Structure 1
Amino acid sequence: MDKKILIVDDQNGIRMLLTEVFSSEGYQTYQAPNGKIALEIVREHAPDLVLLDMKIPGMDGLDILKHVKKIDSSIKVIMMTAYGELDMIKEATELGAIMHFTKPFDIDELRLAVNTELHETPTTLGT
């Protein structure tokens, strides 16, 4: 079954870019421009991973993160921010975000992080 990614960002260009990148990687992608739509998608489609912008009008990224984790604590969340708000990043980590990327981010680094998180295979060290 395809892994599902929800992209939550109020900037249409970012959503389109990330949808294109992750669709071409074989993921089923969903987009949400705000928290209300994001949470509807989380309830309806149970994504495996959410790429979540920190600054979204209405309900900010931390609020969305709290709600996502309440709905399903196993959903992985990667935060994206255009600002280096260390206190918000720290709080997001405490709330369960697995990592964050600062915009403008390197798309290859983000892709690698997502692929790593969604295709975790236990590795054994040594021989």
Structure 2
Amino acid sequence: MEEKKVLIVDDQNGIRILLMEVFSSEGYKTYQAANGKLALEIVRGESPDLVLLDMKIPGMDGLEILRHIKEVNPDIKVIMMTAYGELDMIKQARDLGALMHFTKPFDIDEMRGAVNMQLRGSSVV
């Protein structure tokens, strides 16, 4: 079975490292990006199966990155991470094709379960 790829896009280093550890240990190939430009290079070069995308990123915001990801490959699954009750942005993200969102600080097991469900079709925790 081919290794599924997960890209973590967040400007906070600690969050990227935490999520990379979690999803590496789940058996996924993980990539990380601190900004939109790098995220889109990885999307084009590696074609990840799923992107965990922070809504608030300096430079290019999460919605813009999401729009570009879907232009490159509409099949890539995207889960948004948000820090506040950005309800209007969350609605826009869903309209653009995001599957769901987690509000920070999120429950890491819930996120692990959601990613596994999206990539493996099971919610085995």
- TM-score category (smaller protein): over 0.9
Q: CA deviation at 1:100?
A: 0.1
Tell me the secondary structure at the aligned position of residue 111 of structure 2.
helix
CA RMSD of aligned residues (A): 0.6
Task: Name the amino acid aligned to 2:15.
Answer: I
Match runs of 1:39-78 below 5 Å: 39-78=40-79
Provide Cα deviations, 1:90-122, integer angstroms capped at 9, x if missing partner. Answer: 00000000000000000000000000000126x
Give the TM-score taking structure 1 as reference length.
0.94
C-alpha separation in 2, matches of 1:60 and 1:3: 25
Gaps (5+ residues) in structure 1? 122-127
- Deviation digits for residues 45-69 of structure 1, max 9, x if unmatched? 0000000000000000000000000
Structure of higher CA gyration radius: 1
User: Partner of 1:56: helix, strand, or coil?
Assistant: coil
Consecutive unaligned residues of structure 2, counting only runs of 5 or more, are none
Structure 1 consecutive aligned stretches of length 4 or more whose deviation exceeds 6 Å: none
Number of residue equivalences: 121
Q: SS of the residue aligned with 1:47?
A: coil
TM-score, length-scaled by structure 2: 0.96
Residue 28 (structure 1) aligns with: 29
* Residue of structure 2 in register with 1:98 after alignment: 99
Correspondence for 2:8: 7
